[in-house]
């Protein structure tokens, strides 16, 4: 009977370890029964998304219910602030985001913003944030990073990444610095396809890795891998599945050219097309664990019990078939449990008083105004022409953006007209702008653009509008790569709600308090 008992115990341990390395999501604002049951069977992490959040009280009740089932639990969320927000997914973020903080370039401000964001997360029972983005936005055409990056200079990105990690973790929330080894020099979104970065290793060391070294030095508890192919490092596998990237670069000691990171390695979402369309989620998860990842993030798109069971069984089967060393799975599970225990016991240090206005302060400081000549502030209702690009998946289309709502608070009666690439293609640029001018009905126009340098249709429409109405003010809420244009040009360095409020204040020469 003894061998049978050992076999059953071993099987149970293997299953628990396989569950422990998963970071799944779910749908709804209450915990489903299947999730609570799996927590009892060994699941250690849960990932939250905008669909799980109604308000802080509901979120705190949800995380409290999860911890009633398992006290030492990682509750993770993708809350970057700025364009990527889950806490305020339906109203827009109270924090301006990385690019705005980089534009200000005050590390004390970045640290304070991250601390306040962390305090709000901790109050809701969240103890792991899949942030900050440490990507160097070296490719202006990048479709997925952009304002999520602190900037294009590696040293600037490094100092603000470190400050963000310090601020967030001082509030008792573990940082998960991403997207290792750097997603900034890509023209492809890994949600849709596998990006390829054709740089040599010296460039990687001098550019992409600089912020990650700073994050490791600052004590980041976790690092998230990117689904990107770097042939100079590994010609076959994307970083998430590459032993050379995870074990050989991220884990290797500095004396061997590595980063010497000893914390938790988390994968980016495994259902993203860069992995799922190439390897499949089950096979990709096995390869990621074998390469050195500790936690498998899944649930942004696939968020039910079936995916948890599929991945659990795939990992168990891989161990039994000899594809995944049992010790590697055990080590990964141990790292997850260690972070769960550490974050449970973490306490916010002294001086973590609420700072509700810090995000708006940062957004105001991030504004860059360029006037072609004297510009009279808006004093009457205006017409906002919102040139709206297709939202990338990381940002989503649930979160509102633009200045119309905030401008209408200051100038009631302000209206908006939305322009899209599809409308421009269907009607033609001239007809599109004629429609805008008709909607304006003689009122002053505010054109709102987002990464105008990446969208030819948007640039053409803006040129046509400015030719007809040179008194138009232009608000750029993406990366201000294109030269400033308009009677007044405002670069907000992000599309968060507070960025819109700061821009509306500048357009009208008025100020509102955060609660007005």
- Among 394, 340, 39, residue whose Cα is nearest residue 174: 340
Quick one: residue 510, left, alpha or beta (phi over 0 = left, psi -120 to 50 = alpha)? beta
- Candidates 210, 207, 282, 211; CA nearest to 241 is 282
- Rounded CA gap, 12 and 231, in Å? 40
Active site residue 313: no
Structure tokens at 434: 């004629």
- In the set 99, 160, 179, 191, the catalytic residue is 191
The residue count for the chain: 516
Q: Count how many Cα atoms sit within 13 Å of the Cα of residue 422 in the half-sphere of its side chain.
A: 4
The answer to whether 268 is a known catalytic residue is yes
Determine contact, residues 185/136, Cβ cutoff 8 Å. Answer: yes
CB 98 within 8 A of CB 133: yes
Q: CA-CA distance, 269 to 227, in Å (whole number)?
A: 9
Q: Is the bond preceding residue 401 a cis peptide, omega within 30 degrees?
A: no
**Catalytic residue chosen out of the listed positions 135, 189, 268, 294:** 268
Query: Where does 42-73 have alpha helices with state H?
Result: 56-69
What CA–CA distances, in Å, run from 205 to 10, 250, 358, 441? 42, 12, 34, 55
Helix, strand, coil percent values for the chain (each to nearest 5): 45, 10, 45
Active site residues: 191, 268
């Amino acid at each position: 009977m003894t061998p049978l008992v050992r076999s059953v115990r071993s099987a149970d341990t293997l299953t628990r370890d396989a569950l422990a390395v998963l970071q799944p999501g779910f749908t709804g604002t209450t915990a489903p029964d299947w999730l609570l049951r799996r927590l009892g069977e060994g699941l250690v992490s849960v990932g939250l998304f905008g669909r799980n959040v109604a308000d802080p009280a509901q979120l705190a009740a949800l995380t409290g219910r999860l911890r009633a089932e398992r006290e030492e639990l990682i509750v993770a969320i993708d809350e970057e602030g700025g364009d990527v927000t889950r806490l305020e997914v339906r109203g827009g973020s109270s924090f301006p985001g990385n690019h705005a903080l980089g534009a200000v370039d005050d590390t004390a401000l970045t640290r304070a913003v991250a601390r306040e964001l962390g305090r709000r997360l901790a109050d809701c029972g969240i103890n792991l944030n899949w942030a900050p983005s440490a990507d160097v936005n070296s490719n202006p055409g990048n479709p997925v990073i952009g304002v999520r990056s602190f900037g294009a200079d590696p040293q600037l990105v490094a100092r603000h990444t470190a400050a963000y990690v310090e601020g967030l973790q001082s509030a008792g929330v573990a940082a998960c610095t991403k997207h290792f080894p750097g997603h900034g020099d890509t023209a492809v979104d890994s949600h849709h396809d596998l990006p390829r970065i054709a740089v040599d290793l010296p460039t990687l060391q001098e550019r992409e890795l600089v912020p990650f070294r700073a994050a490791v030095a600052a004590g980041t508890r976790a690092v998230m891998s990117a689904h990107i192919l770097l042939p100079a490092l590994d010609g076959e596998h994307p970083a998430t599945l590459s032993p050379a990237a995870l074990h050989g670069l991220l884990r290797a000691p500095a004396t061997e050219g590595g980063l010497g990171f000893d914390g938790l390695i988390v994968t980016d979402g495994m259902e993203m097309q860069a992995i799922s369309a190439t390897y499949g989620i089950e096979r990709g998860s096995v390869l990621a664990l074998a390469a050195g990842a500790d936690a498998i993030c899944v649930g942004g798109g696939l968020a039910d019990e079936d995916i948890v069971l599929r991945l659990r069984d795939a990992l168990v089967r891989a161990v039994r078939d000899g594809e995944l060393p049992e010790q590697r799975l055990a080590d990964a599970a141990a790292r997850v449990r260690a972070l769960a225990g550490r974050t449970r016991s973490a306490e916010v240090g002294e001086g973590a008083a609420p700072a509700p206005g810090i995000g708006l302060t940062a957004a105001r400081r991030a504004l860059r105004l360029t006037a072609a000549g004297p510009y009279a502030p808006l004093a009457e209702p205006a017409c906002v022409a919102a040139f709206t690009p297709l939202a990338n998946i990381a940002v989503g289309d649930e979160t509102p953006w633009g200045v119309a709502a905030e401008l209408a608070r200051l100038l009631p009666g302000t209206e908006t007209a939305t322009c899209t690439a599809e409308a421009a293609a269907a009607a033609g640029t001239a007809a599109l702008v004629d429609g805008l001018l008709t909607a304006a009905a003689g009122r002053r126009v505010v054109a709102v653009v987002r990464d105008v340098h990446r969208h030819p249709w948007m640039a053409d429409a803006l040129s046509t509008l400015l030719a007809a109405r040179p008194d138009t003010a232009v608000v750029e809420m993406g990366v201000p790569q294109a030269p400033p244009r308009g009677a007044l040009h405002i670069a907000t360095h992000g599309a968060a709600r507070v960025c819109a409020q700061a821009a509306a204040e500048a357009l009208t020469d008025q100020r509102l308090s955060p609660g007005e």
